[in-house]
Amino acid sequence: MQSSSVPAQLGETLAGTIERIVFHKEDSGFAVLRVRARGQRDLTTLVGFAPSLIEGEQITAVGNWHNDRSYGLQFKASSMVSTPPTGAAGIEKYLGSGLIKGIGPEMAKRIVKTLGPDALDIIDTNPEFLLTVKGIGKKRAEQIMSGWAEQKAIRDIMVFLHAHGVGTARAARIYKTYGQKAVKIMSENPYRLAKDIRGIGFRSADQIAQRLGFTKDDPRRLRAGVTFALSEATSDGHCGLPVDMLLDKAVELLEAPRDLLKVALTAEINDGDIVQDQIQGRGCVFTRRLHQAEDGIAEKLLALLDGSPPWKAIDPDKAIGWAQTKTGKDLSNSQKEALRLVLRSKVTIVTGGPGVGKTTLLDTTLKILAQRNITIALAAPTGRAAKRITEQTGLEAKTVHRLLEVQGSGFKRDETNPLECDLLVVDETSMLDVNLMLALVRALPKKAALLLVGDIDQLPSVGPGAVLGDLIGSKRIPVARLTEVFRQAASSRIITNAHRINQGEMPVPPAHGEASDFYIWPVENPEEGVTVIVNLVSQRIPGRFWFDPKREIQLLCPMQRGDLGARNLNIEIQKVINPPNENSIERFGWKFTVGDRIMQTVNDYDRDVFNGDLGIVDRIDHEEKKLFVKFDNVVEYPFDELDVLTAAYATTIHKSQGSEYPVVVIPMATQHYMMLARNLLYTGVTRGKQLVIVVGQKKAISMAVRNDKQNRRWTRLQEILENT
């Protein structure tokens, strides 16, 4: 626990008991408290900063009185220090606050009644006396003791972090990683945090280091900074980066001399964390993992290409005739050519936009091969995409993660335990990054064929690499391009406008009063756009088209920031369709409420939930300090791990890849100019199944349609395939 001493500062001293925590922002420590202060008849409002606060604690603050125009008389503290309470009533409130798992208000009463006013000291020094409390057995006593010890350690860490200018919401995770050595490790080399602790990056570690007296040219800082600059590049989709570009980024980030950064980079290369290589003759550096991933993908694919399909030769004309009779669907010329290519190739790519018959081709191919008793595995990067394939083909499809059978932070399926299939079909291949692609080809049996289906004109993967583009660009893999839009699909404005956008033409809205599945709602500015979108989602779309705003309407934004960004729109939409209440829990800048639509933002192999999975908040347990989310199954999250979840009424277009929604609303504003690109708008529009509404400024839509320049991703896969 914190010391009760308060640093000598100018100002008055206020001491008392925390009766109620009105507000406490965990990442900054800012708090508004109602305190029963000594010498004050009424409760006092205390405002200040503290890393951790619990109702019932004693608090001592130094500061000054201030008469706020809106909130009345307050004590504004320049420093606040809290200590455990001493009286029976205070201890009871303290223990019952949810501080320790296993102790709720009722159990807190029993503990204080049995152990008396020395309950906290007894738990600390003679915890075996907990067994004398009615309702506490050996297992529960151990749980309480463990929770008490962890809270003490966490509190020390929180105090340390807060003292060095860092938010404290990651304290539990730091403790779980480092245990009792946490403060020692952070003091000796705070840059370890950036590598070891999810959620704490280089910048946070750098803040601690600077407050601890680390200089800007400390070798530990420079090495960590160079690695961080490279990892930032991988977050933008690169597998590596030219040396000069990396050093430019590092100089800007670290404000350190370039020659010292060269030395730091050399040290990282010598340690093997960073690998040197070339892309088109230009010296580049890579993280070791991504360098090995591209090598591994190329090696496995080239080995597959050397073989023959696992089925005997099939007469394509006879097969096409049989399939058309069987399905009652006539194939287009490009579909027939694609089918011929698939039937004679061991590795094939099928690409094309919406409405060109990729699904029909896939269904036909599978029906033909099923007649040859070929064992088929179907997969897609997301659960929604896998479900769609299942519905379209009648065959079970799995997410890539579930197909490969997650084990720890890896997969059970690999070269030593390959998949049991003759043909692996992967849909939405544009979403595959190099890590996931490597895992797939490693798990593919040598005898098996591989069919990759995807739209090359969509956004590339969120993760590093440009797998689909590199494979097609290498010209080593047979590629079938479907281009003919089917008549039925051509009647949809969603599909026709998607193709217009892809060809650099402005989308065309319906005539006034005409029923359509695609609309453009012009607005003059972002503020008007917010009002229009909130009204559309909460009133107009449900009222006219009968879609459920909580389940069926998805906002897809070019980026997170701005009035028309995903963050702000999530807040505004939640206010009207699922407003927070007394049961809500606020963590990491979001109020989680039962019924909220949320998204998992990282792969969690332990929970079997993955980046991009959508769920609904099912239950909030304040006593156990857990939130329960319904995905395919109900998954539980401790309150201190809710940073892996984000609101999902609105999300970015990048995050929507591989998913389809009944209704899509796309805000387009010039404030998003950095992200406005043709493939971004095209990807967003093609996510909508039944209704798409673009709300935005005409200039922003035009900017997106005209911008066909895709930021280059620094990858080696195409070059390796071309030159091997």
- Write the pLDDT tens digit of every residue in 294-309: 999 999 999 999 889 9
- What's the CA gap between 555 and 565, in Å, rounded? 10
Tell whether 35 and 107 lie within a shared domain: yes
Tell whether 603 and 669 lie within a shared domain: yes
The rounded mean pLDDT for the chain is 87
Tell whether 306 and 394 lie within a shared domain: yes
- What's the CA gap between 686 and 204, in Å, rounded? 38
167 labeled part of a ligand binding site: no
Q: Determine, yes or no, domain membership for 645.
A: yes
Tokens 């609101």: give the residue: 647
86 pLDDT more than 80: no
Confidence of residue 9 (pLDDT cuts 50, 70, 90): very low
Q: Determine, yes or no, domain membership for 356.
A: yes
544 sits in which H/E element: helix 541-545
358 labeled part of a ligand binding site: yes
Tell whether 148 and 176 lie within a shared domain: no
- What's the CA gap between 369 and 345, in Å, rounded? 13
Task: Find the mean pLDDT for residues 607-623.
Answer: 87
The residue out of 286, 310, 342 marking a domain boundary is 286
Q: Yes or no: say if 31 and 55 are a contact pair by the CB < 8 Å rule.
A: no
Tell whether 135 and 240 lie within a shared domain: no
Structure confidence by residue, pLDDT tens digits, 193-221 = 888 877 677 888 888 888 888 888 999 99
Tell whether 438 and 340 lie within a shared domain: yes
Among residues 445, 397, 457, 458, the alpha carbon closest in space to that of 425 is found at 397
Q: Yes or no: say if 102 and 625 are a contact pair by the CB < 8 Å rule.
A: no
The region, left, alpha or beta by phi > 0 then psi within -120 to 50, assigned to residue 664 is beta
- What's the CA gap between 38 and 664, in Å, rounded? 57
- What are the start-end ranges of the H helices in 164-218? 171-178, 182-188, 192-196, 202-211
1 pLDDT more than 50: no
The region, left, alpha or beta by phi > 0 then psi within -120 to 50, assigned to residue 413 is beta
What is the number of domains present in the chain?
A: 4
356 labeled part of a ligand binding site: yes
Among residues 464, 382, 434, the alpha carbon closest in space to that of 632 is found at 382
What is the percent of the chain where pLDDT is above 70? 94
169 pLDDT more than 70: no
- What's the CA gap between 301 and 471, in Å, rounded? 10
475 sits in which H/E element: none
Structure confidence by residue, pLDDT tens digits, 325-380 = 888 888 888 899 999 999 999 999 999 988 888 888 998 999 999 888 899 999 99
Among residues 46, 39, 57, the alpha carbon closest in space to that of 95 is found at 57
Q: 525 is in which domain, residue-wise? A: 505-706
Q: What is the CATH number of the domain that holds 322?
A: 3.40.50.300
Q: Determine, yes or no, domain membership for 394.
A: yes
Task: Find the mean pLDDT for residues 152-162.
Answer: 68
| Residue 408, CB-side half-sphere exposure with 13 Å CA sphere | 3
112 labeled part of a ligand binding site: no
Confidence of residue 165 (pLDDT cuts 50, 70, 90): low
Tell whether 701 and 602 lie within a shared domain: yes
- What's the CA gap between 402 and 423, in Å, rounded? 17
Q: Yes or no: say if 706 and 677 are a contact pair by the CB < 8 Å rule.
A: no
- What's the CA gap between 281 and 230, in Å, rounded? 19
Q: Determine, yes or no, domain membership for 550.
A: yes
Amino acid at 240: G
11 labeled part of a ligand binding site: no
Tell whether 305 and 408 lie within a shared domain: yes
Tell whether 142 and 103 lie within a shared domain: yes
- The reported pLDDT for the residue numbered 701 is 94
Confidence of residue 88 (pLDDT cuts 50, 70, 90): confident
Structure confidence by residue, pLDDT tens digits, 411-465 = 999 999 999 999 999 999 999 999 999 999 999 999 999 999 999 999 888 889 9
Bridge-based pairing of strands 347-352 and 479-482 is parallel
For residue 86, give every residue at least 6 positions away whose Cβ sits within 8 Å of its Cβ, in sequence order, or none: 58, 117
- What's the CA gap between 694 and 299, in Å, rounded? 44
- The reported pLDDT for the residue numbered 665 is 97
- What's the CA gap between 75 and 466, in Å, rounded? 57
Tokens of 46: 């205390």
- The reported pLDDT for the residue numbered 163 is 65
Among residues 406, 461, 388, 398, the alpha carbon closest in space to that of 424 is found at 398
Q: Determine, yes or no, domain membership for 261.
A: yes
718 pLDDT more than 50: yes
For residue 353, give every residue at least 6 positions away whose Cβ sits within 8 Å of its Cβ, in sequence order, or none: 455, 457, 485, 498, 499, 502, 686
The residue out of 239, 257, 286 marking a domain boundary is 286
DSSP state of 540: I
Cα torsion at 607, 611, 614, 617 (round to 10°)?
A: 50
Q: What is the CATH number of the domain that holds 77?
A: 1.10.150.20
> Cα-flanking dihedrals φ and ψ of residue 640, to 5°?
-80, 5
User: Regarding predicted confidence, which is higher, 513 or 631?
Assistant: 631
Q: Yes or no: say if 376 and 422 are a contact pair by the CB < 8 Å rule.
A: yes
3 pLDDT more than 60: no
Q: Yes or no: say if 319 and 339 are a contact pair by the CB < 8 Å rule.
A: yes
The residue out of 158, 184, 203 marking a domain boundary is 158
Q: Yes or no: say if 663 and 546 are a contact pair by the CB < 8 Å rule.
A: no
β-partners of residue 482 are 352
Q: Determine, yes or no, domain membership for 563.
A: yes
Cα torsion at 707, 708, 712, 717 (round to 10°)?
A: 160
- The reported pLDDT for the residue numbered 126 is 87
Q: Determine, yes or no, domain membership for 494.
A: no
- What's the CA gap between 353 and 371, in Å, rounded? 29
- The reported pLDDT for the residue numbered 6 is 38
> Beta-carbon neighbour count of residue 498 at 10 Å?
28
Tell whether 373 and 452 lie within a shared domain: yes
Q: What is the CATH number of the domain that holds 244?
A: 1.10.10.2220
Q: Yes or no: say if 19 and 72 are a contact pair by the CB < 8 Å rule.
A: no
Q: Determine, yes or no, domain membership for 715.
A: no
Structure confidence by residue, pLDDT tens digits, 635-656 = 999 887 888 899 999 999 988 8
Tell whether 480 and 565 lie within a shared domain: no
Tell whether 280 and 304 lie within a shared domain: no
